Amino acid sequence: MEPSKLTARQQQILSLIETAIRQTGAPPTRAEIAKALGFKSANAAEEHLQALARKGYIQLVSGTSRGIRLKNPDYASALESSRTPYSLSLPGLGQLVLPLVGRVAAGSPILAQEHIEQSYAVQNSLFTQTPDYLLKVRGLSMRDIGILDGDLLAVKSTSDARNGQIVVARLGEEVTVKRFEKNVSGIHLHPENPDFSTIHVSPSDNFQIEGLAVGLIRHQF
């Protein structure tokens, strides 16, 4: 019997456990999970661990701070083999575990479970601010500032932006990465590639800022 599907947060925690075991030979403590994911206390981590145990992914062993076991290695192997074969250097547990967002369906939240392709553990020091997720870049409209097709853009969720900032914006049924400008004539989303045109947002458009770019990860294929 296969285990139940995971929420995005549960997948983050499971990925963190797998990373810790793979790199250190031992699972993380509740405190380490809480620190890596920005929880206020270890109790929040414990609640998610209990949910993972109920869904059949892990076993919790009482009496030890690292009493977390992958319940069925086949599940871990299946998760690992289903991931895109990217490789990141992860030197320790002082890191973030971020969901990777692929294609976003129209009208649904950007962090909806069906948009999450996998999770990555990455060092917080890579970013100017703490990001909430990674977005896979599609296209070359931001090429001239070094954001290329296939890059992973680290995004901090917010609905506010200042002129000149790189934003992730939802316009109608599309999610786009552009440089933000707002003036008396309205909102403008500028590309960083002369082959693309500026998007001028009209008052009738369904427009929303989803977040700010705070860093970039480039994969070597």
179 and 218 together in one domain:
yes
Q: Which residue has the higher pLDDT, 79 or 2?
A: 2
Q: Domain holding 38: CATH number?
A: 1.10.10.10
119 is an active site residue: no
129 and 204 together in one domain:
yes
Give the predicted TM-score (pTM) of the model.
Answer: 0.57
Phi, psi of 51, rounded to the nearest 5 degrees? -65, -40
Q: How many domains does the chain have?
A: 2
115 and 190 together in one domain:
yes
- The band of 215, judged by pLDDT with boundaries at 50, 70 and 90, is confident
49 and 125 together in one domain:
no
Structure tokens at 62: 């009482």
Return the pLDDT at 106.
46
141 is an active site residue: yes
- The band of 182, judged by pLDDT with boundaries at 50, 70 and 90, is very high
Q: Which residue has the higher pLDDT, 134 or 107?
A: 134
75 and 150 together in one domain:
no
Q: Number of C-alpha atoms within 13 angstroms, CB side, residue 199? A: 20
- Hey, is 100 helix, strand or coil? strand
Of 40, 55, 178, 182, which residue is the catalytic one? 178
Phi, psi of 12, rounded to the nearest 5 degrees? -60, -45
Q: Does the structure show a pLDDT above 90 at 163? A: yes
Q: Does the structure show a pLDDT above 50 at 157? A: yes
Q: Which residue has the higher pLDDT, 84 or 97?
A: 97
In the listed set 82, 110, 131, which residue is the last one of a domain according to the structure?
82
Return the pLDDT at 26.
72
Q: Which domain holds residue 128?
A: 90-221
Of 41, 141, 157, 197, which residue is the catalytic one? 141
Q: Does the structure show a pLDDT above 60 at 28? A: yes
pLDDT tens for 42-94 read 888 889 999 999 988 888 887 777 788 887 654 444 444 334 333 333 444 45
Q: Does the structure show a pLDDT above 50 at 130? A: yes
Under a CB-based contact definition with an 8 Å cutoff, are residues 153 and 147 in contact? Answer: yes
Return the pLDDT at 127.
75
